[in-house]
Amino acid sequence: MTPRAQFFSLMKRESAPVLSWFMAFFNEKTAQRLLGTENVQTDCIPDDKLHTGACSTENRQRKLAYAKACGHFAIGVGHGGGFAFGHGGPGEFGEWEIETGENFRIAQFETGVKKEVKYNPHFYHHFNYPVDSATDLDKITLPDPHDPARYAGIQDESDFYKAQGYATFANLNGFFSGIHYFLYPYDKLFEDLLLEPEFIHAMLDKLGAFNLAAAEKLLQCGVDMITFCDDLGNGTSLLMSPALYREFFLPWHKKLADLCHQYGAYLHMHSHGNINKIIDDIADSGVDLLNPLDPCDGMDLPALKAKYNDRMTFVGGIDKFFFEWDYDKQRDYIFALAKNADGGFILMDSGGVPENVTKEQFERIRAIFHDVKAAYNQFPGKNVDE
């Protein structure tokens, strides 16, 4: 069966395979070193102008090679999409490079916010936010989510990957993260969830309208899955009370899930941290897949799968220190995870492949993933598109 068919077999509960998906690499240089330059798309970092629409023919081939090299079952559409989970492509605010050096680069996004990325060691931060207080609401200027140029060639790109046997996904701005990435500083956002709730709702209305419109355009292009990032927890608990999540962000998650389901597509959410207190809410919203479920954060993938398997597919379950372990510990851990979960989930790292992983170490990890998938991947014979 194709990777695409394997994915649909899992989602429809026709079988209980183990699939895998590397969330990202810390940066493109790490990916090129570990996978080979020819297997990494060239548009995963911005150049000096904004790009929209589908990626180039060359990068389609590179995305395909990247998926094969990583053992993925799905490929992201759009210029810049497909390298890091939840980031890149026309559903997220685009960026272009404004300054670069030997060990850093600075990009600007469509909202005006800027991002500095440093290499070795990896570090990034956002600055130059367009909004500084509740009086700045009118300063929010978002691109037109209905602009046809934004989605030019996306359906053709999606169809290309499907014909090669892969599921397709499109990245979308988050709702919580969409504010603190692109509009308003992180610390002030937390303050104003309590102090200026009407202001936060007003920002969410603007951002949410863009997100839903962009998602619908992408769904009309035939993508199988919408992915987005909203990190809602830390190592011990939620970043906000369950009540605040339910007031501000849950309604938008539900709207997005309902929209995906109208088009027969899936919604895949990323949220780091201990979010056990709102798992019921996330399941009720209609989110179909959830990652990364890091056990260091108190997230127990096998236990959650046993409770929610008829409502959500879980992705992740890998300890954040996994890349620091020796081979035997890594292999034992992955096979124990698969056994305890009884298959039927998707392996994903908790935060990207670090810069210090050697090629030899990475090859061993790929071999572990291959072996555990081979042990669990028994599929029915029918083709997903029949």
In 3D space, the residue among 315, 311, 263 whose CA is nearest the CA of residue 288 turns out to be: 311
The residue with tokens 């962009």 is: 214
**What secondary structure letter does DSSP report for 56?**
P
* Distance in angstroms (rounded) separating the CA atoms of residues 373 and 49: 41
Which tokens belong to 111? 């909202």
In 3D space, the residue among 169, 320, 165, 180 whose CA is nearest the CA of residue 239 turns out to be: 180
* pTM to 2 decimal places: 0.96
Helix (H, G, I), strand (E, B) or coil at 122: coil
Strand 313-314's sheet: what is its strand order?
74-76, 167-172, 225-229, 266-270, 289-291, 313-314
Give the domains, in start order, of the chain with CATH numbers.
3-93+150-376 (3.20.20.210)
With contact defined as beta carbons under 8 Å apart, do 181 and 86 qualify?
no
Q: Encode the chain (386 residues) as per-residue pLDDT tens digits.
A: 899 999 999 999 999 999 999 999 998 999 999 999 999 999 998 999 999 999 999 999 999 999 999 999 999 999 999 999 999 999 999 999 999 998 999 999 999 999 999 988 888 899 999 999 999 999 999 999 999 999 999 999 999 999 999 999 999 999 999 999 999 999 999 999 999 999 999 999 999 999 999 999 999 999 999 999 999 999 999 999 999 999 999 999 999 999 999 999 999 999 999 999 999 999 999 999 999 999 999 999 999 999 999 999 999 999 999 999 999 999 999 999 999 999 999 999 999 999 999 999 999 999 999 999 999 986 544 443 43
